């Protein structure tokens, strides 16, 4: 191993670090909710605990990964050793998940962007641990005076950014009484009981039409998805809205302008994930993900 050119070790460190950073990125985008629901569902922990753990793991993966890319390994290569221990911990969890839920589940290692079974992820972790072990034994990073201060400061920043850029969503109770005030347009179902993704949409809003189109496409794949459209501006006909979105199959109602504006604050679409009358999340159309919704429904 000593005869291997140093450039090979540099490439291995950069590739390993990039894998960590990519893993953190896929857990964060298109929405961190996917990772939160995965943790909550698989580990059977409270949603707040899952939200804290999600940001912790994203921060530690992004921090360690970027440090490996730039070759700041710290004194005694503690960055590489921490990455090795992290992968070992993940592997123990994957083994437990495999035994408990089988091999036909998404482990969440790359969020919902790349589906990966526990067995495949264990192989991936084993290869990464092998590479990191070689780097610990044969490769050294920068040995500047601040070679230990920089990694520590960097990890603190990574943790902080993971929480500051994605603050916890505080659930709140939504008043849907205005929707039921108009007996003619009142929903046939009680939207305060059970889980529903309620979208407040303006018929002339292009983003609202896009959100409705996404819901139509998802509902075609899984009719059980609990979408509900509340469409404001009752003076506008819906012919163009339906033509653009094809979403007539999504349950919907109309709502008068005043209560519609009061609920939305003049910003739409408002896509609210409502669980027994409590809004647990408010997302954009691009953050709608079918796997995440199906996990949330469980």
140 or 82, which is more confident:
82
Residue 21's pLDDT band (cuts 50, 70, 90) = very high
Query: Do residues 10 and 158 both lie within one domain?
Result: yes
What residue numbers bound the domain in which 134 lies?
6-164
In a domain, 1, yes or no: no
Domain annotation covers residue 198:
yes
pTM of the model: 0.74
Same domain, 249 and 145: no
Whether residue 156 sits in one domain with residue 12:
yes
Same domain, 36 and 149: yes
Confidence check: pLDDT of 22 > 70: yes
Tell me how many domains the chain contains.
2
Residues 181-235: pLDDT tens digits?
A: 877 778 989 999 999 999 999 999 999 999 999 999 999 999 999 999 999 988 8
Q: What is the 3-state secondary structure (H, E, C) of the chain?
A: CCCCCHHHHHHHHHHHHHHHHHHHHHHHCCCCHHHHHHHHHHHCCCHHHHHHHHHHHHHHHHHHHHHHHCCCCCHHHHHHHHHHHHHHHHHHHHHHHHHHHCCCCCCCEEEECCCCCHHHHHHHHHHHHHHHHHHHHHCCCCCCCCCCHHHHHHHHHHHHHHHHCCCCCCCEECCCHHHHHCCCCCCCCCCCCCEEEEEEECCCCHHHHHHHHHHHHHHHHCCCCCEEEEECCCCCCCHHHHHHHCCCCCCEEECCHHHHHHHHCCCCCEEEEEECCEEEEEECHHHCCHHHHHHHHC
Same domain, yes or no, for 83 and 121? yes
Q: Residues 12, 141: one domain?
A: yes
pLDDT per position as a tens digit, 56-70: 999 999 999 999 999
Asked if the model's pLDDT at residue 1 lies above 80, the reply is no
**What pLDDT shows up at residue 76?**
87
Domain with residue 225: its CATH number is 3.40.30.10
Q: What is the mean pLDDT of residues 83-101?
A: 93
């Amino acid at each position: 191993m000593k005869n291997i050119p140093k450039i090979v070790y540099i490439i291995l460190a950069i590739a390993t670090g990039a894998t960590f950073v990519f893993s953190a990125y896929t857990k964060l985008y298109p929405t961190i909710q996917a990772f939160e629901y995965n943790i909550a569902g698989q580990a059977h922990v409270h949603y707040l605990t899952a939200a804290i753990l999600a940001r912790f793991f994203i921060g530690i993966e992004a921090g360690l990964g970027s440090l490996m890319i730039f070759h700041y390994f710290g004194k005694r290569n503690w960055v590489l050793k921490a990455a090795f221990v992290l992968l070992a911990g993940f592997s123990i969890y994957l083994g437990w998940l495999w035994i408990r839920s089988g091999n036909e589940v998404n482990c969440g290692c790359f969020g919902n962007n790349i589906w990966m079974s526990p067995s495949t992820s264990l192989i991936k972790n084993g290869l990464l641990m092998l590479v990191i072990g070689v780097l610990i034994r044969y490769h050294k990073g920068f040995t500047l005076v601040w070679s230990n201060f920089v990694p520590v400061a960097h990890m603190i920043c990574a943790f902080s950014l993971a929480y500051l850029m994605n603050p916890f969503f505080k659930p709140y109770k939504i008043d849907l009484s205005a929707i039921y005030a108009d007996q003619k347009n009142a929903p046939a179902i009680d939207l305060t009981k059970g889980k529903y993704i309620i979208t407040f949409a303006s018929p002339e809003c292009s983003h609202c039409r896009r959100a409705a189109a996404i819901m139509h496409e998802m509902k075609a794949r899984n009719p059980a998805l609990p979408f509900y459209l509340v469409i404001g501006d009752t003076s506008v006909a819906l012919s163009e809205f339906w033509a653009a979105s094809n979403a007539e199959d999504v349950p919907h109602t109309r709502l008068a302008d005043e209560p519609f504006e009061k609920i939305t604050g003049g910003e739409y679409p408002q896509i609210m994930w409502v669980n027994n009358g409590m809004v647990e999340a408010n997302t954009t159309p691009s953050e709608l993900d079918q796997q995440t919704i199906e996990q949330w429904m469980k």
